[in-house]
Structure 1
Amino acid sequence: MKPARSNLLLNIMLLAAVAGLSGASLMWGETRIMAVHALADLLAGRHTAGAIIVGQLRLPRMLLAIMVGGTLGLSGAVLQGYLRNPLADPGILGVSGGAALGAVSVFYTGLMQVSVAALPLGGLTGALCAAVVLMGLVGRGGTLVLLLAGAALSSLAAALTALVLNLVPSPYASFEIMHWLMGSLTDRTFAHVWICLPGVVCGTLLMLSAGRVLDALTLGEDVAESLGFRLHGMRGVQTRIVLGAALAVGSCVAVAGAIGFVGLVVPHLLRPLTGYQPSKLLVPSFLGGSLLLLGADMMVRLVTVGTELQLGVLTALVGAPFFLARVIMLKRGVS
């Protein structure tokens, strides 16, 4: 089978799986309902119990799972391709830490009581500030400078977040902050969807536009520049990738908290199916990330231990053993 046709088939299969799991997500919950009938009531404006449950609870949660999972999967694939580092993930740039710091600051200052949008907007502001600082630090530097600057920014954001937690006067506020930092899609509304959507769309388009450059970078930076691709500077691919990841990932962390390992696991699973070509991995990684987070979100509704398990905890429990298994496989391959 030709590579282009096999990649198209992979995308179709993943899209069908996402559509099927999205339908199941609308029906899945404590109250069993017929999603088709509930959606019909919702579109007709009938305020039935099913329409309220789907429209106000399950539909925003399902849409956010698609956007957040897809964004994390795509950004992981883009960053791994650009940095040529299989361990690169969305948190490597410090944007996730900046978003977490912004959201925690909203908790600390009490602005959360002003509006339901204050928390995600605070997280988004923190992510954008982190992106501006990162681009200022990197300037015209290469991938090594980007890695070092991202690591430094992540450490600084983590330290400041710990400081805010230390200074919070109320233990209940500390509990709320820690609960949010573990990542979840519970109780999210369409307000969160609309806050997240612009950043996800703009960031995704910026990252997808780097596909051809990522293919050229597999041959090295010098070859990529000789082919006419501008890597650094304000109009370079590095700026597009950093800004795209900041907008998309920052928007997702702002509304869902920190959800790890999706950006690491998904590209690793799908890379062999795309012929190890970075540009062919981008769309499957978005769909694969959506599929993974939809499935994980359904699992947290199924696994009850007195309270609903946090989504970020479940993805970490799945992701960490996966990478341990990868380490063992690589060790066997070397020995």
Structure 2
Amino acid sequence: MSSQRHPALIPLLLAGVLVMGLASVNLGPVPLSPARILAAFTGHGDEIAQAILFQLRLPRTLVALLVGATLGLTGAVLQGYLRNPLAEPSVLGASNASALGAVAAIYFGVADWHPALLPLLSIASGLIALMLLFALAGRSESPLTLILAGIAVSTLAGAGISLALNLSPNPFAAMEIMAWLLGSIENRTMEHVWIALPCVMLGMALLLYDPRALDALSLGEDGARSLGVDLSRTRIRLLLGVAIGVGGAVAVSGSIGFVGLIVPHLIRPLTDRSPSALLLPSLLGGAILLTGADILVRLIPTASELKLGVVTAFLGVPVFLVHLLRERRLW
């Protein structure tokens, strides 16, 4: 990968992930001292501390780190590949399509049969949307064609979600669908972690496999081809990585926006601005941002816990606007 402008960037981000992870495990409505947490980890803690730690906070923390890392990385990859500073997973319809699969599982009651069926339908719908995207884009290697096809897929998936809400058999089903669409990682278990982990790891591996191809694409399709980049294989690899990674993430967290859009913009001034130099920092930055937002959700005193997607939107819009005004001439 290209060298970062600040050599300490990756170590600082890794430290940030560690700090946020520890804070997420430690902070919450029920205070746990470091001594009780350590005792619980070593198997000598009291039953209450162990239940809070292993059944509530640790799975929630791991889900936040996995989902945030996936959204941050996919945002950086798509902004580099499409050469569009506003690109994020929803641009190619990945987020809406995965959400449609989960909504269908809730609407038809499939989610009640087994907890794994909702994530599996979410991932499957993401892959179906990917095939539709390829069918619409055809053999074209232009980013504009992909963006237009992605808008069509995203709009179609959004229409399906609206239809499910409109035809919902009872208000309770509609409320469940709406709660899921707002995004949350409340009440997650280790089962959710194991469901998301294979998809997230496979998606990240595909996206991080050849970062130099993104640098070559910054020269345009002809320039990348002259440098030996196989545009068709690169497109398939990147889109598969986005669909699988985002499908696994959305399946356990619901729809959470702005993370993939904002994180690359926060990280870009600290790098040499090449797409490859942005990937790993955006992965770590996404994990930090989403975990921090989830901590904020737990600490804000409200009658019912705020949805994570709402908080990321409120945090994201002003941050994005400030950086957009500051960096628009440097992109």
TM-score (norm 2): 0.94
- 1:9 deviation in Å? 1.6
* CA–CA distance in structure 2, aligned partners of residues 237 and 137 of structure 1: 18
- The match for 2:276 is 279
* CA–CA distance in structure 2, aligned partners of residues 215 and 267 of structure 1: 15
- The match for 1:270 is 267
- The match for 2:172 is 172
* CA–CA distance in structure 2, aligned partners of residues 41 and 260 of structure 1: 34
Alpha carbons of 1:174 and 1:206: their partners in 2 closer, same or farther (altered >3 Å)? same
After superposition, where does 1:180-329 map in structure 2 within 5 Å?
Answer: 180-232=180-232, 236-329=233-326
* CA–CA distance in structure 1, aligned partners of residues 61 and 324 of structure 2: 33
- The match for 2:37 is 38
- The match for 1:103 is 102
- 1:327 deviation in Å? 4.9
- 1:210 deviation in Å? 3.3
Work out whether residues 138 and 145 of structure 1, in 8 Å CA contact, stay in contact via their aligned partners in 2: yes
* CA–CA distance in structure 1, aligned partners of residues 100 and 121 of structure 2: 9
Work out whether residues 97 and 158 of structure 1, in 8 Å CA contact, stay in contact via their aligned partners in 2: yes
What residue ranges of structure 2 are gaps of 5+ in the alignment? none
- 1:150 deviation in Å? 0.4
- 1:126 deviation in Å? 1.5
Work out whether residues 76 and 88 of structure 1, in 8 Å CA contact, stay in contact via their aligned partners in 2: yes
Greater RCO, CA 8 A, separation 6+: 2
Alpha carbons of 1:327 and 1:17: their partners in 2 closer, same or farther (altered >3 Å)? closer
Residue 164 of structure 2: SS of its match in structure 1?
helix
* CA–CA distance in structure 1, aligned partners of residues 35 and 22 of structure 2: 9
More deviation in 5-14 or 287-296? 5-14
- The match for 1:53 is 52
List per-residue Cα deviations over 1:308-331 (Å, max 9, x = no partner): 110000011111222333454478
- The match for 1:90 is 89
Work out whether residues 182 and 310 of structure 2, in 8 Å CA contact, stay in contact via their aligned partners in 1: yes
More deviation in 168-177 or 130-139? 130-139
* CA–CA distance in structure 1, aligned partners of residues 322 and 284 of structure 2: 24
- 1:299 deviation in Å? 0.3
How many residue pairs get aligned? The number is 328
Residue 44 of structure 1: SS of its match in structure 2?
coil
- The match for 1:153 is 153
- 1:38 deviation in Å? 3.1
* CA–CA distance in structure 2, aligned partners of residues 271 and 330 of structure 1: 9
* CA–CA distance in structure 2, aligned partners of residues 296 and 254 of structure 1: 19
Equivalent residue letter for 2:210: A
- 1:183 deviation in Å? 0.4
* CA–CA distance in structure 2, aligned partners of residues 60 and 306 of structure 1: 23
- The match for 1:113 is 112
- 1:140 deviation in Å? 2.1
* CA–CA distance in structure 1, aligned partners of residues 282 and 40 of structure 2: 34
* CA–CA distance in structure 1, aligned partners of residues 57 and 160 of structure 2: 34
List per-residue Cα deviations over 1:248-300 (Å, max 9, x = no partner): 01111111001110011110011111111111110000000000011100000
Alpha carbons of 1:140 and 1:151: their partners in 2 closer, same or farther (altered >3 Å)? same
Q: RMSD across aligned C-alpha pairs, in angstroms?
A: 1.9
- 1:8 deviation in Å? 4.3
Equivalent residue letter for 1:228: G
- 1:186 deviation in Å? 0.3
* CA–CA distance in structure 1, aligned partners of residues 157 and 136 of structure 2: 15
* CA–CA distance in structure 1, aligned partners of residues 135 and 49 of structure 2: 50
List per-residue Cα deviations over 1:153-211 (Å, max 9, x = no partner): 00000001101111111001101100110001100111111110011001001111231
Alpha carbons of 1:212 and 1:254: their partners in 2 closer, same or farther (altered >3 Å)? same
List per-residue Cα deviations over 1:34-77 (Å, max 9, x = no partner): 35643543453866211111111111111111111111011000
Equivalent residue letter for 1:176: E
Equivalent residue letter for 2:118: L
Equivalent residue letter for 1:155: T
Work out whether residues 23 and 35 of structure 1, in 8 Å CA contact, stay in contact via their aligned partners in 2: no
* CA–CA distance in structure 2, aligned partners of residues 273 and 288 of structure 1: 12
Equivalent residue letter for 2:257: G
Work out whether residues 75 and 87 of structure 2, in 8 Å CA contact, stay in contact via their aligned partners in 1: yes
- The match for 1:26 is 25
